[in-house]
Amino acid sequence: MKKEYYKRSTCRLCDSTRVYSGVKFEATPPGDTFVTQAEINRAQKRYPIDVCLCEDCGSIQLLDVVNPEILYGPYLYQTSISLGLPEHFRRYADEVLAAVAIKPGSLVIDIGSNDGTLLRCFQERGMKVLGIDPASAAVKTALARGVDTIQAFFDRNLARKIRSERGDVGIVAANNVIANVDALGDFVDGIRELIEPNGYFVMETGCGASLLEKRLIDVVYHEHLSYFTVKPLEGFFRRHGMKIIDAYWIPSKGGSIRCFVQADKSSAIPKPSVREMIYMEEDKGIGTMDSLRKMGVFITERKKGLTSLLDGLRAQGKTIVGYGASVGVTTLLYLFGLDKYLDYLVDDDATRFERFSPGQHIPVYSSVVLNEKNPDYVLILAWRYTDPIMKRHEKYIQQGGRFISLLPELKIFGVS
């Protein structure tokens, strides 16, 4: 294994050295390393998380890079248990196939395929499929579901091997994975080799504009090395012999962008949507140091308000627990110092039950314990699911329990 951690000195999109820190988050262990009781005494090293800006191309990124074998070897997350994501991928398959010109039965490759949820949607629509993912547990699940999957990190060498063995590729998809790649040049060069001459690369990834405007602070963690906007991406792809032919915003994961990319020698002409996205980013000042500083001010103010609220509840002897046990929740636990306030965490993903949060070792239980233990307050850390969480636990509310929303606003819900 390569060294466990290093710090880049250059922008991963344009290689500029003018990359500066804009917002410092609290250092955390890898956010998905929820440990068992047997592992609880094992030290978990913390790594920095500083959100930086390249002042030449405007890309938003982390320069602190943790070895991916540390991040993804024991990875617990699987797509099929993420609320709303399987339905999103069914729509995704329909929308992508309607937008591209490929023959029925073409090969669709998904990089970062996880448990094969997306590829099963393409299988159901008559496509051949191949998944690529480094996480052993997810690959095992995919194979059991009949989704041909290679357990590996994708790079140009693997791309050449696949192309020689499988031939033409109609679509290469990368959903919520390209932001996790440090060596982006090699990664995209490999994709270009797979899709030449007329295939499509379709990427869906967290949107840097949404991060800054909607304060999606829980998407900031070690796996997410880049927070993309269209303008720096356009220049990056052009330098690697590719062109963005369509780009638009989608609501997935709080705000994402979907881009369709082809080799620059294809006959496709970029749609007006690409320029429109760039104009929007420039008009809103996205990709400026000022936009990062404003997010930093928001974090400081939200921490002050939350700390004041929780200190007051604790002074009254109230019990407080957290709802959510995910990689993004780890960011929030450290950023706001929540370990001193929360008695335990609850979640709906059985792979988290009876484990302990990274580093702080807060115990995690099934959310069914809310009705049994009846804590006074539940702080919703999985804040995108606030409405379904409260609907699922109406009994807890009727028993006098109260929920606290952390984002997008700090608010208490319960029977008045």
Q: What is the per-residue pLDDT across 178-199, written as a single tens digit (0 to 9) for each?
A: 999 999 999 999 999 999 788 9
Round the average pLDDT of the chain to a whole number and report it: 92
Question: What number of CA atoms fall less than 13 Å from residue 28's CA on the CB side?
Answer: 33
Q: What is the C-alpha separation between 56 and 52, in angstroms, rounded?
A: 12
- Token pair of 24, please? 């410092």
pLDDT at 274 over 50: yes
Percent of the chain residues topping a pLDDT of 90: 83
Pick the range with the lowest mean pLDDT from 14-18, 75-79, 91-95, 212-216: 75-79
pLDDT at 324 over 50: yes
Entry pTM: 0.90
Q: Which domains does the chain have, with CATH numbers?
A: 79-284 (3.40.50.150), 290-413 (3.40.50.720)
The whole-number average pLDDT for the span 95-118 is: 91
The better pLDDT of the pair 74, 276 is held by 276
Asked if 378 and 396 touch (Cβ cutoff 8 Å), the reply is yes
Is it true that the peptide bond before 197 is cis, omega within 30 degrees of 0? yes
pLDDT at 363 over 70: yes
Q: What is the C-alpha separation between 273 and 264, in angstroms, rounded?
A: 18
- Banded model confidence at residue 82, pLDDT cuts 50, 70, 90: low
- Banded model confidence at residue 1, pLDDT cuts 50, 70, 90: very low
